[in-house]
Amino acid sequence: IEVKEWVWFQYPWTRLEDTYQFIKRMLTETYKENGKLEWTYEDIISGFKEWYGIDVGEAYYTRALKILLEKGIIKRDETRGVYRLVV
């Protein structure tokens, strides 16, 4: 089967999990491509919209970042206002 277009079938009960997994993928793939480790909140939201073509809403971005912080995938530098990918 040849896949010509990627489509995200989004179910309400998986939206949060999908959001944090997609943010994680975006951060790690960007790191692999160009070494970028630090992101502002605005960078993450605009990057997500660009990568996936959807805006899941402020609440989902905030909750997804909280999960990534709890899992140790990212750290927050409050002083500089950035999230940093843990590698």
Q: What pTM was estimated for this model as a whole?
A: 0.88
pLDDT tens per residue across span 4-60: 776 767 777 799 999 999 999 999 999 999 999 999 999 999 999 999 999 999 999
Q: How far apart are CA 25 and CA 42, in angstroms?
A: 17
| Ordered domains of the chain (ranges, CATH) | 12-85 (1.10.10.10)
The helix/strand/coil state of 37 is coil
Where b means 16+ CB within 10 Å and e means fewer, 29-55 reads: ebeeeeeeeebeeeebbebbeeebeee
83: confidence class by pLDDT, cuts 50, 70, 90: very high
